[in-house]
Structure formats: C-alpha cells, structure tokens
Amino acid sequence: MKYNKILNDYIKQLLEESTPEAPVWNREQFIHNNGANWNYVNGITMRALLNLYSNTGEETYLNFVDGFMDYFVDVDGSIKTYELSDYNIDHLCGGPVLLTLYEITGKEKYIKASKELRQQLNTHPRTKEGNFWHKKVYPNQVWLDGLYMGQPFYMEYEEKYNQAAGCADSFSQFINVGRLMKDTVTGLYYHGYDESRESFWCDKSTGLSKGFWLRALGWFVMALVDTMEVMPKTMEAEKEELMILYQDLIETLLRYQDTNSSMWYQVIDQGGREGNYLETSGSAIISYAILKSVRLSYLKPSYREIGERVFYGICDKYLSEENGKLQLGGICLVAGLGGNGTRRDGSYAYYISEPVVENDGKGVAPLLLAYSEILRG
C-alpha cells in the first residue's frame, strides 16, 4: 500500500508528541490556550485509534486510548471537565469509546462514565419535532454535526444497555433531518435548522441556513453509517429507510466530486468559485463512510474503489514532510452558526474565511478511520 509507511510513521509521531493534557491534534486547544477538556475532537481521534486497534491488533493503539481516557474518567465514572447542564451534544462523541473500552478492558469506570453521558439525553432540550438541540446556548437549533456527535452513541447504548428503549427515538431524529434539512433542488443538506426562525443566519420561512458546508455533510453521512451499524436487528425496516436516505445522499455527493483529486470543496456546490478549496476533513469522512459501507454491504463492492481514490487523493495533495515532521494539511479548523456577533452566518464568505490548518484532529481522525478500513480490506 502506497502510504502505509508514511501513515504509520505519522501515527507514531502523533502519539509520541501527545498527552491527555496536550494532544497535538487539538489545534483549537493550542490556539486558545485551553486546558485539558472533554471534547469531540479527542473523542473522534480516540475512535479512530480504536478502529486501528480493531483492524490491526496493534496493542499500542489500545494502550494509548486506555491511558488517554483514564486521565479523564475517575473511578466513580465522573468525567473531568464534563458538565451535563451544558447540554452540549458534542460531549457525547466520546461515548462509543467508553463503551468499547469497557467491553475490551472490563473496567467498570468506563460503563459508569457512559451512563453519565446517557443521563444527559433524559433532559436534553429538544425541538418540537423531537430532535436534540445542538447546544443549550443554541436554542431550538439542529446542526448536521450533532447527528454524528450524539446518535451513534445513543443507538448503541440503548441497544446494549437499555433494552433498545430509545432506538426508535434515535431513528426518528434522522427522519426529521431528512424531511426538514434536505434541499429538494440539489439533494444536499443544509448545515443548520432553527425551529424558532429567530437566528440571524436562518431563512425566516424555512428556518434553514444559507449554504452547504462539506464537513457538516460529512458528519451526517458518517452518523448514518455508524448508527445503522449498531441498530438492533428488530429494526430492519427502519434501517432500510436510513439506507435509502444514505445511498441517495452518497449519489448526490458524488455529483460534486472534483475529478482530478477525487476530493470535495469546502463549500461543496461552488467548486469553481474564488477562495474555495479542496478540504481534507469532509473528504476523509466521506471516504471512510464509503469504505465502511462497502464492508457492511450498504453500498455495492464497486464503491470501494471510489472510497480509495478519495483517500489517496487526500494523501497525494495534503500529506507531506516539513522540517522532518509529517504534516496533514487542508483542514478547516472550525465552522459553526451564530454565537457572538454576526460573522458565522452560513454564507459562502464565512465558510472560506475560517482558518485552514495542519494536523487538526477533525481531519486527522477521519483520515485514520479511512486508513483503518483500507487495512481491513
């Protein structure tokens, strides 16, 4: 495999230079000088490393994840810096890691911590349609990002530890997004939806944001794949519904793919526009989703070549060596809607204005997820 050695060296470099207090992939933590905190960037990176462990049997990956999560999870299951009352759906991203670590290590503190995260959903605010708010500070809002942050954990926890009690609820939240946030002209999904229509960034008639951000679409695609994987066998009909929604979105995304690199643009439907760029994180997420979908028979075997082309396109364009250090570039640092001021308005100008960085976990982890699927074959 063309990039096997360089990627293994890159992973080794990331692990050797990282501690739970200062993970090198968490660029926001470094930029804002934040202390160690429970967050989704670490969550998805730990998920990627566990996938690599599962597919290679390399104990180094498991030991690193166990040590990293051990720092945050106390013996009673309490999680350092996590506050349930924040009602931040991002904080559930690490939930599947806790479940997997409990199954592998048998350490009770991990299942206790997963129960603490699950408690959040009992009182997490919802829209009238039944979807979890993205965060308490963003009332009445659903973002595509949040489907990945919360739903795979919700579905898996309910299926394994709560007699599947909330599985239908999780399923219905995807159906609501399909009904409310899909653009009937392009087939793409808008980044955000405000049920109240009060946010400055939303259309006052539909509640939808202005445009189509690649990584948000990626989060949604990955949420579908990872959630379908853990749905109970009693929900085969519901799984088929999600499969149709997923397959339709994949076909839509492929229409916007760059023919040379096989990647996608930051603002996916405006590839030729000045300032737009081929973006790593969203492209890697879609690569992972396609590769995993082939393995799980959600897509035909012929799609594996498509997923591989995306993966290699990213590596060809953005994986390099600089001053003796390996670098993964082309990663949008962060993008959202609302908050302080009016800059984050969901416009084209906004999405291309956010910093483009190297080695951020939001791009690194999806590339490693895709790599783990390639290794699995």
What pLDDT does 323 receive? 83
pLDDT the model gives residue 30: 87
Nearest to 155 by CA among 106, 92, 108: 92
In this prediction, residue 109 has a pLDDT band, given cuts at 50, 70 and 90, of: very high
179-228 pLDDT, tens per residue? 999 999 999 999 999 999 999 999 999 999 999 999 999 999 999 999 99
* Residues 9, 1: Cα–Cα separation, whole Å: 14
pLDDT at 295: 98
Kindly tell me the burial class for residue 370, based on how many C-beta atoms sit within 10 Å of its own C-beta (0-12, 13-18, 19 or more): buried
Q: What is the band of 33 on the pLDDT scale with cuts at 50, 70, 90?
A: confident
Q: Which amino acid belongs to residue 91? A: H
* CA distance linking residue 62 with residue 51, whole number of Å: 9
DSSP letter for 269, please.
T
User: Residue 89 in contact with residue 134, Cβ under 8 Å?
Assistant: yes
Structure tokens at 104: 């592998």
pLDDT digits (tens, 9 = 90+) for 48-61: 999 999 999 999 99
Q: What Cα–Cα distance (Å) separates residue 202 from each residue in 76, 193, 198, 211, 285?
A: 42, 7, 7, 10, 26
10 Å CB burial of residue 310 (0-12, 13-18, 19+) is buried
Mean residue pLDDT across the chain:
97
Q: Is 273 exposed, middle or buried (0-12, 13-18, 19+ CB in 10 A)?
A: exposed
Angle at which helices 167-180 and 214-229 cross, to 10°: 150
What dihedral do alpha carbons 285, 287, 288, 293 form, nearest 10°? 120
Distances (CA, A) of 361 to 2, 266, 348, 366: 22, 17, 24, 8
| CA atoms in the 13 A half-sphere facing the CB of 246 | 29
Q: How many CB atoms lie within 10 A of CB 161?
A: 15
As a whole number, mean pLDDT of residues 117-137 equals: 98
* 308: nearest Cα among 263, 347, 242, 252: 263
Domain 4-376 top-level CATH class: mainly alpha
- Sequence ranges of the domains in the chain: 4-376
CA distances to 46, 49, 115, 178 from 155, in Å: 19, 21, 13, 18
Structure confidence by residue, pLDDT tens digits, 325-348: 899 999 999 999 999 889 999 999
DSSP 20: S
pLDDT tens-digit map of 263-309:
999 999 999 999 999 999 999 999 999 999 999 999 999 999 999 99
Mean pLDDT, rounded, for 250-269: 98
CA of 374: how far to CAs of 46, 259, 307, 309, in Å? 18, 21, 9, 11
Residue spans of alpha helices (H) in 162-203: 167-180
| pLDDT at residue 1 is higher than 80 | no
Residues of the chain above pLDDT 90, percent: 96
Q: What is the pLDDT of residue 13?
A: 96
Q: Which amino acid, residue 146?
A: G
Are 20 and 72 spatial neighbours (Cβ–Cβ below 8 Å)? yes
* DSSP tag of 24: T
Structure tokens at 96: 């599947």
pLDDT level of residue 324 (50, 70, 90 thresholds): confident
- pLDDT recorded at residue 337: 98
Residues 156 and 167: their CA atoms lie apart, in Å, by 8
Residue 377 has what pLDDT? Answer: 81
Residue count of the chain: 377
Amino acid at 375: L
Pair 145, 282: CB distance under 8 Å: no
* 359 has a pLDDT exceeding 80: yes
The Cα 51–Cα 123 span in angstroms is 31
Cα 257 from Cα 252, distance rounded (Å): 9
